Amino acid sequence: MNIADKLYKSQFVNSLPKFFLRKLKKIFNYYFIEVKSESLPVNNHPSTSNLDQQKFLVKRFHATHYTPPSSCPYLAQLLKALFVQNEGSFNFLDFGGENIDHYLYLNKHIKNIKYFYFNQKENIEVMKKLKDQNNFENFTVLNSLDEIKQMNFDFINLGSVIQYIDNYKEVLNDLINTNPIYIFFSAQTFYEKKYNTKEKIIVKQVNILPQVNFCFFFEYSPFINIFKVKNFLPLFKTLNLTDKVNYKNFNEKMGKIEYSDLLLKNMKK
């Protein structure tokens, strides 16, 4: 293990001044580093959303020709291709949706979308207040996974989220059982190994220090098998181009490793 690996794995690096962290990133350009753990920590990836921030995003969206950042910039085009706008509405679940401008953008460009929002409890409460203040059309805030399980969706969007959920298999099976037509993952790391020893690894996300998050990298074949047994098959897997993620510090035992988007279709529909 080299010095950079030891430094990034330590707790010490989390408290370094920002100017030093910027220098580290410039020198090594690490995004993630593997850690020895069997589960993600409690309170991983805490919410940073607040009502004032979301109000600002609403104001900026309506005041300018603003395209919000997204883990999938082509999502609106994909939805238009899958759901022709003169053929009735469709239910879109943004599981782990972050900011309100994502809804505003899709609702502006896709007239037949019914948008359902779900995230952490803190985000849910913010979005409820925001909806009450703005009377958003076609916008529903869901309170729990149990509520989601009682509904039907045509398209479930998981934008850079499932890797932060420790019980991801349970969550994915619950979502599959809502019987959607499509399930879409964006900005997700998959690896493919010649010698299978682990179906996932846990990594520390270090490109955003001093904020510290932990997440999964998934081996592609076992991940896909979660869906295949329920008759979901991949329509495409493609590189995600929103960031040039550096994986060079992962050795060759990881095999092929890519920052990807993945669309799966329910073959029963």
Cα 114-117-123 angle, rounded to 5 deg: 155
- Position 255 scores a pLDDT of 85
pLDDT, one tens digit per residue, over 24-77 is: 888 889 999 999 898 999 888 878 789 999 999 999 998 888 889 899 999 999
DSSP string across 235-248? EEEEE--S-----T
Q: What is the pTM of this model?
A: 0.93
| Rg for the chain, CA atoms, rounded | 19
Percentage of residues in the chain having pLDDT higher than 70: 98
Would strands 213-219 and 232-239 be described as parallel, antiparallel, or unpaired? Answer: unpaired
Distance CA 79, CA 64 (A): 24
- Do residues 234 and 264 make contact, with C-beta atoms less than 8 angstroms apart? yes
Element (H, E) at 148: helix 145-149
Per-residue pLDDT at 252 exceeds 90: no
pLDDT, one tens digit per residue, over 208-227 is: 888 889 999 999 999 999 99
Q: Which tokens sit at 243?
A: 């960031």
pLDDT, one tens digit per residue, over 88-134 is: 999 999 999 989 999 999 999 999 999 999 999 999 999 999 999 99
> Does 3.50.50.60 match the CATH number of domain 49-187+226-244+257-266?
no
Question: Residue 19 — pLDDT band, cuts 50, 70, 90?
Answer: confident
Domain ranges of the chain: 49-187+226-244+257-266
pLDDT, one tens digit per residue, over 78-99 is: 999 999 887 899 999 999 998 9
Q: How many CB atoms lie within 10 A of CB 107?
A: 17
- Position 7 scores a pLDDT of 83
Element (H, E) at 115: strand 113-118
- Position 95 scores a pLDDT of 98
243 compared with 6, residue with greater pLDDT: 243
Q: Which tokens sit at 224?
A: 């896909």
- Do residues 153 and 97 make contact, with C-beta atoms less than 8 angstroms apart? no
Question: Residue 1 — pLDDT band, cuts 50, 70, 90?
Answer: low
pLDDT, one tens digit per residue, over 138-162 is: 999 999 999 999 999 999 999 999 9
- Position 84 scores a pLDDT of 87
At residue 182, the 3 state secondary structure works out as strand
Per-residue pLDDT at 228 exceeds 80: yes
Question: Residue 196 — pLDDT band, cuts 50, 70, 90?
Answer: low
Helix axis angle, 121-134 to 51-63, nearest 10°:
50
- Position 25 scores a pLDDT of 85
User: Average pLDDT, stretch 233-244?
Assistant: 96
- Position 4 scores a pLDDT of 80
Mean pLDDT for the chain? Answer: 92
Cα maximum dimension of the chain: 59
Distance CA 206, CA 32 (A): 5
Residue 118, CB half-sphere, CA atoms under 13 Å: how many? Answer: 22
Length of the chain: 269
- Position 220 scores a pLDDT of 95
Distance CA 257, CA 11 (A): 26
